[in-house]
């Protein structure tokens, strides 16, 4: 599915919920075996139960890799089970020099046919280009993440250079010092288009969303951090929505582990539906705003 | 193997060469099958041929993941074949929020029992801590990479904050404006010790090595970029060596693809030996310098 397909799915489902399949083998309900096949059975039940309320599934590769070969197989089986009506994301946070990134792009866009992958920006342009070269696929670059560690480097102020490559003192633009994540958004957005590039912006950073939208008004944002991490859906939507809605809000643990009992899928469906019910009027209001 | 084991291996082998097993299924010699099992056969021959001349093997996970489940199996088999006398690195460049990074750490330190893993710093402290929690394992954080894209963000100047969290204008320290990668080295080095933390510094950045050593005099550096990417072993050693030698120089393509014929392993051995022969007197000179 392309980004355009995602826009249509949002209108059809009245939802911009992404369910994160960060399935932890140690947290499966007791009636399922604590094996990779148990994870697949769990995922299939979650997908069946939630697909009416979401438009996307995000598979967190770490939770599958930690099970080794069997885990990789479980990732394949889970991906194959997701209906083609839903946008699939490999939450892999890859990024390496060009020829290595080409192999990662092949992994997640060909060997596994995900629609999108998350990518880390630290290594710069040639680490991201190989993903962007895939037509009809989407590359989702880390902008401002939802974790505490985002403060270490993403929130660091950077110093621009003038046309002679001299440092411009911040005294010259005291009202708008710039942070690293802002430079990442600005620079990376010039390498692709709103059709093949999205950004991760954590829901716990809602205060920064207005600012994000000044830099990248047209890109979709993948927003983790609602639910367990405490981000507010209302705030994220208020500050982050654009003409296309432009938000994909991910919830993982709050849905997966809504119940640890045999009724886990029903409880997951109930939580996913709650999000969908909250989202529907926001979508309607947004359509009116831009009508 | 711990970092201390690596120091001893360097003295024993008279080498600080790491052979990068970035084995590309499309570049195997014609007499080997273009399958994951062909990759394993190739790797085993390369390991047998080069182990006398190197102290470490680095497995680039992208090249295995792109083959899917069979590739993950090939990675396991290759790792199992590396003798315990050699330091093993998963070149995986992972990094995510804390509970996800814990799963990556489990993947590469338990499910696969690598000695070390490469990690990206963009997501900050809680994305790196889970790796550092493993005793006797080594976390290798990206500092300044060997690719062109390193200029995009790693070389960006950052602006420090004073004790009131106000921006300090660069005018106040015109002789030493600071770059993002320098801040990464300084900040990340405070989270671990030279015994459980190393940094990636590209050989193509030899001019910056003196500067790197001002910030982190005691850490080992994993240095890619010698060989195919054009970095100089002499320069890297001159500017980067410390009391423990402190360098692990990785060569991948120049060794793996020294010949595309049936004699590929012999030719790989010859190139690896050339590096070892060049390294031995540098090690001797360094021992004298610090005697």
DSSP string across A129-144: HHHHTSTT-EEEEEEE
At residue B175 the predicted structure's pLDDT band, cuts being 50, 70 and 90, is very low
* The CA-based dihedral angle spanning residues A141, A146, A149, A152, taken in that order and rounded to the nearest 10 degrees: 60
Question: Quick check: A174 pLDDT over 50?
Answer: no
pLDDT > 60? residue A169: no
DSSP state of A169: P
Task: Report the percentage of chain B scoring pLDDT > 70.
Answer: 94
Mean pLDDT, chain A, as a whole number? 93
Nearest CA in chain B to A121: B122
Name the residue among B69, B142, B149 with its Cβ closest to that of A125: B149
Domains in chain A (CATH in brackets) are 3-151+193-289 (3.20.20.70)
Catalytic residue ranges of A: 93
Q: What is the pLDDT of residue B158?
A: 87
Q: Is A161 on the interface with B (CB under 8 A)?
A: yes
Mean pLDDT rounded to a whole number for chain B: 93
B63 pLDDT higher than 90 = yes
CA distance A288 to chain B (A): 36
Quick check: B215 and B189 in contact, CB under 8 A?
Answer: yes
Please indicate whether, in this complex, the C-beta atoms of A124 and B66 are within 8 angstroms of each other: no
Contacts of A74 (CB under 8 A, 6+ apart): A36, A37, A39, A40, A43, A64, A67
pLDDT (tens digit per residue) in A31-86: 999 999 999 999 999 999 999 999 999 999 999 999 999 999 999 999 999 999 99
Question: Nearest CA to CA, how far is B44 from chain A (Å)?
Answer: 20
**Residue B172 predicted with pLDDT over 90:** no
Residue of chain A minimizing CA distance to B184: A153
Distances, alpha carbon A156 to alpha carbons A202, B5, B51, in Å: 16, 37, 43
In whole angstroms, give the CA distance from residue A122 to residue B88: 24
pLDDT score of A181 more than 60: yes
pTM (two decimals): 0.95
Interface of B with A in 73-112 (CB under 8 A): 73, 76, 91, 93-98, 100-101, 103-104, 106-107, 110-112
Confidence band (pLDDT; 50, 70, 90) for B2? very high
8 A C-beta contact, residue A223 and residue A30: no
Residue B166 has what pLDDT?
58
Which amino acids of B are annotated catalytic?
93
* Residue in A67, A153, A170 nearest the CB of B159: A170
Cα distance from B249 to chain A (closest Cα, Å)? 17
**CB-based contact, A204 to chain B, within 8 Å:** no
Q: How confident is the model at residue B231 (pLDDT cuts 50, 70, 90)?
A: confident
């Amino acid at each position: 599915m392309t980004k355009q397909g995602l826009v249509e799915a949002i209108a059809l489902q009245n939802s911009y919920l992404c369910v994160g399949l960060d399935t932890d083998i140690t947290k499966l309900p007791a009636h399922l075996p604590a094996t990779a096949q148990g994870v697949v059975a769990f995922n299939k039940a979650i997908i069946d139960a939630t697909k009416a309320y979401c438009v996307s599934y995000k598979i967190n590769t770490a939770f599958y890799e930690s099970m080794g070969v069997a885990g990789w197989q479980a990732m394949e089986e889970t991906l194959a089970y997701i209906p083609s009506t839903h946008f699939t994301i490999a939450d892999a946070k890859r990024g390496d020099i060009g020829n290595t990134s080409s192999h990662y792009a092949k992994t997640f866009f060909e060997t596994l046919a995900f629609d999108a992958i998350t990518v880390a920006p630290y290594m710069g342009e040639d680490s991201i280009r190989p993903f962007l070269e895939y037509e009809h696929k989407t590359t989702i670059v880390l902008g401002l993440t939802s974790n505490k560690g985002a403060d270490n480097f993403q929130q660091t102020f950077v110093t621009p250079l003038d046309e002679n490559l001299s440092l411009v003192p911040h005294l010259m633009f005291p009202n708008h010092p710039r942070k690293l994540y802002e430079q990442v958004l600005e620079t990376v957005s010039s390498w692709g288009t709103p059709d093949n590039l999205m950004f991760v912006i954590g829901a716990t950073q809602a205060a920064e969303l207005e600012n994000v939208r000044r830099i990248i008004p047209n890109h979709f944002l993948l927003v983790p951090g609602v639910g367990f991490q405490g981000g507010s859906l209302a705030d994220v939507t208020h500050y982050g929505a654009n003409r296309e809605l432009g938000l994909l809000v991910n919830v993982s643990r709050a849905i997966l582990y809504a119940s640890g009992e045999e009724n886990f899928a029903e409880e997951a469906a109930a939580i996913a539906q709650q999000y969908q019910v909250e989202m529907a009027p926001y979508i309607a209001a947004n359509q009116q705003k831009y009508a």
